[in-house]
Amino acid sequence: MLGGRSITLFHVRGIRIAVDWSWFFVLFLVIFWLSQFYGDVLGEAGSSSAPFALALISALGFFASIVLHELGHAMVALRNGIGISSIQLWIFGGVARMDRESDSPSTEFKVAIAGPLVTLAIVVVLVAVGLAVAGPEGFRGAALVESDSGVSGGLAVVAWLATINFLVLVFNMLPAFPMDGGRVVRAIAWWRTGDRTSATRFAAGLGRVFAYLFIGGGLLLVAGGYVFSGIWLALIGMVINGSARAASMQTAISGRIEGVRVADVMDREPVAIPGELSIERALDEYFLRYRWPWFPVIDAAHRFLGLLERERADEIPEIARATSLVSELLERDRGSLHVSEDDPLDSLLGNQNLRRFGALIAVDADGRLAGVITAEQVGRALRDAAG
Ligand SMILES: [Zn+2]
Domain positions in the chain: 6-173, 262-386
pLDDT above 80 for 387: no
Helix (H) or strand (E) holding 288: helix 288-290
Cα–Cα distances (Å) from 336 to 5, 18, 307, 341, in that order, read 23, 19, 11, 14
CB 359 within 8 A of CB 374: yes
**pLDDT in the model for residue 163:** 92
CB 369 within 8 A of CB 381: no
**How much distance in Å is there from the Cα of 95 to the middle of ligand 1?**
7
Q: Which CATH architecture has domain 262-386?
A: Roll (3.10)
Each residue of 286-318: pLDDT tens digit? 999 988 889 999 999 999 999 999 999 999 999
The pTM for the full model equals: 0.71
**How much distance in Å is there from the Cα of 22 to the middle of ligand 1?**
19
> pLDDT over 70 for what percent of the chain?
96
User: Angle, to 10 degrees, between the axis of helix 50-79 and the axis of helix 105-143?
Assistant: 160
Mean pLDDT score, 217-243: 90
**How much distance in Å is there from the Cα of 66 to the middle of ligand 1?**
9
Residue 301, amino acid: A
**How much distance in Å is there from the Cα of 59 to the middle of ligand 1?**
19
**pLDDT in the model for residue 297:** 94
Mean pLDDT score, 209-237: 92
Mention every residue, 6+ apart, whose C-beta is less than 8 A from residue 154. 133
**How much distance in Å is there from the Cα of 295 to the middle of ligand 1?**
36
Cα–Cα distances (Å) from 386 to 17, 95, 195, 256, 343, in that order, read 38, 32, 20, 7, 20
**How much distance in Å is there from the Cα of 64 to the middle of ligand 1?**
14
Alpha carbon distance 42, 160 (integer Å): 13
Confidence of residue 150 (pLDDT cuts 50, 70, 90): low
Mention every residue, 6+ apart, whose C-beta is less than 8 A from residue 105. 187, 188, 190, 191, 196, 199
**How much distance in Å is there from the Cα of 321 to the middle of ligand 1?**
46
**pLDDT in the model for residue 169:** 93
**How much distance in Å is there from the Cα of 82 to the middle of ligand 1?**
16
* Minimum mean pLDDT range among 127-136, 155-164, 203-212, 249-258: 249-258
Q: Is 83 exposed, middle or buried (0-12, 13-18, 19+ CB in 10 A)?
A: buried
**How much distance in Å is there from the Cα of 115 to the middle of ligand 1?**
5
**How much distance in Å is there from the Cα of 346 to the middle of ligand 1?**
23
* Minimum mean pLDDT range among 48-62, 220-234, 342-356: 342-356
**How much distance in Å is there from the Cα of 88 to the middle of ligand 1?**
12
**How much distance in Å is there from the Cα of 360 to the middle of ligand 1?**
28
**How much distance in Å is there from the Cα of 220 to the middle of ligand 1?**
27
Mean pLDDT score, 331-356: 83
For ligand 1, a single-atom ion, the residues with CB < 5 A are 115, 180
Mean pLDDT score, 349-374: 88
Mean pLDDT score, 42-69: 83
**How much distance in Å is there from the Cα of 287 to the middle of ligand 1?**
43
Alpha carbon distance 184, 305 (integer Å): 34
**How much distance in Å is there from the Cα of 331 to the middle of ligand 1?**
30
Alpha carbon distance 101, 339 (integer Å): 12
**How much distance in Å is there from the Cα of 145 to the middle of ligand 1?**
28
pLDDT above 50 for 3: no
Q: Where are the alpha helices (DSSP H) in 43-152?
A: 50-79, 105-143
**How much distance in Å is there from the Cα of 269 to the middle of ligand 1?**
41
**How much distance in Å is there from the Cα of 98 to the middle of ligand 1?**
12
DSSP 351-382: -HHHHHHSEEEEE-TTSBEEEEEEHHHHHHHH
